[in-house]
Amino acid sequence: MKSTMGHIVLLGMNHKTASVELREQLALVCSNQANPVQLFPYLGSVKELFFLSTCNRVEILFTCQNYEDAMGEVKALLKTHLGVSSACLGQFEANFYIHKDEAAVRHLFRVASSLDSMVVGEPQILGQIKKAYREAVDHRTVGVILNRLLHKAFSVAKRVRSETMIGSYAVSISYAAVELARKIFGELASKRVLLIGAGEMAELAAEHFLAQGVCHMVVANRTLERALELARRFRAETTAFEHLPDALSEADIVLTSTGSPIPLLTYQDVKSRMRKRRNKPLFFIDIAVPRDVEQKVNEIDNVYLYDIDDLQGVIELNREERQKEAARAEHIILEEALKFHDWLRTLDVVPTIIALREKADRIRKKEMRKTLAQLPSLGERERQAIEVLTESIVGKLLHDPIVFLKKKAGRESKQVFVDHTQQLFNLNEDGGLPSSSGCNQK
Amino acid sequence: MVGVFIVVATICYCVGAVGYLVYLFRDWEAIHRACLAVLAAGAIFQGVALGVRSFQVGHLAATSSQEAMAFFAWILVLIYLLVQVRLNLRILGSFVAPLAVVFMLTSSLLPDREVPTATIFQSMWLILHVVTLFLANALYALAFSAGIMYLLQERNIKRKSFGFLYPRLPSLDRLDRINYFCLMVGFPLMTLGLLAGFAYAGTVWRSPWNWDPKEVFAVITWFIYAVLLHERLAVGWRGRRAALLAIFGFSAVLVTFLGVNLFFEGHHTVFVK
């Protein structure tokens, strides 16, 4: 069936397979250029395309008939998009993973459910996928399969969130950062947090620090309005973005997450302020990609620098607690992926026709039973006649749709008609399709 | 009887040390409480032994090398118990208790020689000298332990690779505070002890300064801690450097305390022979 159905392929890289440096490069490119799905018309072998890029991952999801051709095109697309030479791309490729068919579906579900996130259970990823999906819809690059797949991914994510504790775990970047701060400073109440820039993650971390008893917070932002808004929200003071290094002499914990392409705080900036600080410990949490604080800063005595990759290591510590919930989530994902696979199999004409006939016949038999039960006086001949009558009504009624579907079987657009037929007759919602898995959809 | 009490105390310290080492790996409240009780019991036994012996010989029984080492172990355990009550830093026991055991066992290996009492042993200056310096040294031993813990913990955080000790060790700030506390209390005690020593030397040998090797090393050690204190107060040295210097300072203490006793000839030899 795969040969006529084609493939679902997912090419991507995440925080596990690629270093911060590489992801920084990607994030830079993505902020400069428009979504690569707009190049979709140039891809002949790729039938549907979806592109997701966040600061931690890149996922390219596509469907195709010919795997090799399509993969070549997607790689070329990536090359154009990143503006790198073929040699560089080879280097990149080592960081990529490729999933096909069921594995691709499972991976997408895992990503959407935030199981594959650096911070497992973090809620942002679903919003990011939805946004990427909207863009793909705007560019008309998603069709029957990916539409269905992404909607399914959203519902799987919802199911995982509501049926497991994955989302409610405080295991997150911010939690990890607070725990580390405790190991450095002991109590946090008298410490001063400097929040530079504002990303969702940094704000989350700032909230967490406030919740843990930090009283003094200072906000620095390139735009004053945003700084004031944040200051109001966190009951914080503001400080001039231009004199950032000077703010270091007062702060104890520095949270940075700006979009700056170059580091805001250099080794010299920090080193020269340490004496004024009387060597009090300084803890940098750099959530930005590209990084805001020079890596070398970690070498200074009493200065600790953690970027998101480092925080990952801390999160590993609490992994065991979450593993049970993660296993439950994986089970949900496996189940849903199987269901999706079943649906996919029926996207061909023949299974749809069979399903249509089966559903009609099921309805016919049910109604026959009801009617015959009320007419016990009928003889065998009459029963036969009614049986033939109903069979021929159903057969005649279904004849034209079936002929129509068979006519479309050889066309590219068949999936659309198959999908419409299934929706029209509600074939896939009530277990009406020949199904290999035992689980019925609700 | 004194010998039996000392043996019991040594066993108590050993049990406490082993228990605290287990506690290092397993966070069981019961172990901590048991160890604390055992150490306290050991300290009481040794205290009684010390009192009886001092009464028997007629002076503070901390004169021979053997006695001095045991006395130091006792002071160390006492200081640990006090700090434990004050600061409640349990994991410190895992580092201090083995140290006390090392001193106790070394003491038991040395020949047991009773030093006959003499008038020079009965000066108040001498008692002040011995008690303050031993207290200071015990505090420095604590700072040394905290310093090692600091370096271990700092390594965890700096290198971002978290060993099994990471969750067990306290925060860097806490360890640095202990370092500071021990230094702030230990240094005046040490100064007082040295001054008492000079005063005593003045009454016994006519000159407070006799170029005795122990005197020289003691003054060197005093300077090391003076530098540490000065840098801490004036420049704000802290963290790794302070920990390193506390470790270095304690090695100087050991040289002064043991090395000179065992390998050099000098005025102090009178006491340790």
What are A328-360's pLDDT values in tens digits? 889 999 999 988 888 787 777 777 888 888 899
CB-based contact A317 B162, cutoff 8 Å: yes
Exposure on the CB side of residue A414, measured as CA atoms within 13 A: 22
Q: Are the C-beta atoms of A259 and A288 separated by less than 8 Å?
A: yes
Q: What is the per-residue pLDDT for B136? A: 94
Contact yes or no for B167 and A313 at CB 8 A: no
pLDDT at A186: 87
CB–CB contact B161 A314 (8 Å): no
- SS3 string, A163-230, reads HCCHHHCCCCHHHHHHHHHHHHHCCCCCCEEEEECCCHHHHHHHHHHHHCCCCEEEEECCCHHHHHHH
When CB atoms are compared, the residue of A184, A186, A280 closest to B157 is A184
**What mean pLDDT comes out for the span A263-284?**
89
pLDDT band of A406, cuts 50, 70, 90? confident
Judging contacts by C-beta atoms under 8 Å, the chain A residues touching residue B157 are: 180, 183-184, 304
Judge whether residue A430 has pLDDT over 60. Answer: no
Spatial distance between the Cα atoms of A39 and A220, rounded to a whole number of angstroms: 38
Total count of residues recorded for chain B: 273
Distance CA A144, CA A347 (A): 9
Q: How does residue A3 score in pLDDT terms, banded at 50, 70 and 90? A: very low
A98-128 pLDDT, tens digit each: 999 889 999 999 999 888 876 667 777 888 8
Please, is A240 exposed, middle or buried when counting C-beta atoms within 10 Å of its C-beta (0-12, 13-18, 19+)? Answer: exposed
**What's the confidence (pLDDT) of residue B61?**
76
Nearest alpha carbon to residue A202 among A185, A225, A226: A226
d(CA A78, CA A63): 16
A415 token code pair:
């999936």
Strand, helix or coil for residue A256 = strand
User: How crowded is residue B233: how many other Cβ atoms within 10 Å of its Cβ?
Assistant: 12
Exposure string (b/e) for B63-77, b if CB count within 10 Å is 16 or more? bbbbbbbbbbbbbbb
For residue B241, list chain A residues with Cβ-Cβ distance below 8 A: 301
Q: Which of A209-213, A269-273, A391-395 has the lowest mean pLDDT?
A: A209-213
Q: Which of B160, B239, B241 sits opposite A310 (nearest CB)?
A: B160
Domain covering A7-169 assigned CATH 3.75.10.10 in the classification: no
CA distance B183 to B188: 9
Among A20, A187, A273, A279, the strongest candidate for a mutation testing the B interface, having the largest count of B CBs within 10 A, is A279
Question: Has residue A139 got a pLDDT over 80?
Answer: yes
The residue of B87, B91, B157, B232 whose CB has the most chain A CBs within 10 angstroms, and thus the best one to mutate to test that interface, is B157
Smallest Cβ–Cβ distance between A183 and the set B172, B240, B241 belongs to B172
Does A182 sit within 8 Å of B160, measured CB to CB? no
**What is the pLDDT averaged over residues A195-213?**
78
Contact A302 B171 (CB under 8 A): no
Q: What is the per-residue pLDDT for A34? A: 65
How far apart are the C-alpha atoms of B180 and B153, rounded to whole Å? 17
Nearby residues of B111 by Cβ (< 8 Å), 6 or more positions away = B66
Task: Examine the pLDDT at A252 and tell me if it is beyond 80.
Answer: yes
Q: What whole-number distance in Å separates Cα of residue B260 and Cα of residue A378? A: 121
CA distance linking residue B222 with residue B210, whole number of Å: 17
Interface pTM (ipTM) of the complex?
Answer: 0.83
Tell me, letter by letter, the H, E, C secondary structure of B14-42.
Answer: HHHHHHHHHHHHCCCHHHHHHHHHHHHHH
Residue partners of A187: CB distance under 8 A and separation at least 6:
A213
Of A182, A184, A279, the CB nearest to B237: A279
CA distance to A62, A84, B116, B255, B265, per residue, from B273 (Å): 88, 81, 11, 18, 10
**Per-window interface: B 241-260 vs A, CB < 8 A:** 241
Instruction: List the single best residue of B173, B175, B233, B235 to mutate versus A (max A Cβ within 10 A).
Output: B173
Task: Say whether pLDDT at A260 is over 80.
Answer: no
8 Å CB contact between A224 and A242:
no
Contacts of B238 in chain A (CB under 8 A): 278-280, 302
d(C-alpha B157, C-alpha A417), whole Å: 60
For residue A170, pLDDT over 50 is answered with no
- Burial grade of B242 (CB within 10 A; 0-12, 13-18, 19 or more): buried
Largest separation between any pair of C-alpha atoms in chain A: 106
Nearest to B23 by CA among B103, B84, B102, B108: B84
How many whole angstroms separate alpha carbon A268 and alpha carbon A265?
Answer: 8
What is the Cβ-side half-sphere exposure of residue A189, based on CA atoms within 13 angstroms? 0
- pLDDT at residue A205, as a whole number: 80
Catalytic site residue from A30, A55, A64, A88:
A55
Helix (H) or strand (E) holding A363: helix A349-374
Q: Determine the pLDDT at residue A437.
A: 36
**DSSP annotation of B121:** G
Output the pLDDT for position B216: 87
Chain B contact set for A184 (CB, 8 A): 157, 171-173
Q: Decide: A277 and A249 in contact? Cβ < 8 Å.
A: yes
Which of A278, A280, A313 lies at the smallest CB-CB distance from B160? A313
Rounded to the nearest angstrom, the gap between the alpha carbon of residue B53 and the centroid of all alpha carbons in its chain is 21
**Closest Cα partner for A425 from A378, A364, A357, A379?**
A357
pLDDT at position A5: 61
Q: What are phi and psi of A193, to 5 degrees?
A: -105, 130
Q: Which residues of A touch B240 (CB under 8 A)?
A: 301-302
* Start-end of CATH 3.30.460.30 domains in chain A: 7-169
Q: Where in chain A is the domain with CATH 3.40.50.720?
A: 173-316
Q: What is the largest CA-CA distance in chain B?
A: 60
Interchain contact B88–A (C-beta under 8 A): no
In the residue annotation, A55 being an active-site residue is answered as: yes
**How are strands ordered across the β-sheet holding A282-286?**
A237-238, A216-220, A192-196, A253-256, A282-286, A303-307
- CB < 8 Å to A298, chain B: 158
Mutate to test the interface with B, among A276, A285, A302, A320 (most CBs of B within 10 A): A302
Classify A173-316 by CATH class: alpha beta
What does the buried/exposed string (b/e) look like for A211-232 if buried means 16 or more CB atoms within 10 Å of the residue's CB? ebebebbbbbbeeeeebeebbe
Query: Which residues of A fall below an 8 Å CB-CB distance to B?
Result: 180, 182-186, 275, 277-281, 298, 301-302, 304, 306, 310, 313-314, 317
Given an 8 Å threshold on Cβ–Cβ distance, is A301 in contact with B174?
Answer: no
**Does A304 contact B167 at a Cβ distance shorter than 8 Å?**
no
Q: How confident is the model at residue A87 (pLDDT cuts 50, 70, 90)?
A: low
Are B47 and B111 in contact by the 8 Å Cβ rule? The answer is no
Which portions of chain B are predicted below pLDDT 50?
Answer: 273
Locate all alpha helices (DSSP H) within A379-413, ordered by sequence: 380-408
CB of B43 within 8 Å of a chain A CB? The answer is no
- Interchain pair A279, B240: CB under 8 A: no
Structure tokens at B100: 């006390």
Look at residue A327 and tell me whether its pLDDT is greater than 60.
yes
Min Cα–Cα distance to chain B from A289, Å: 19
Predicted confidence (pLDDT) at residue A197 exceeds the cutoff of 90: no
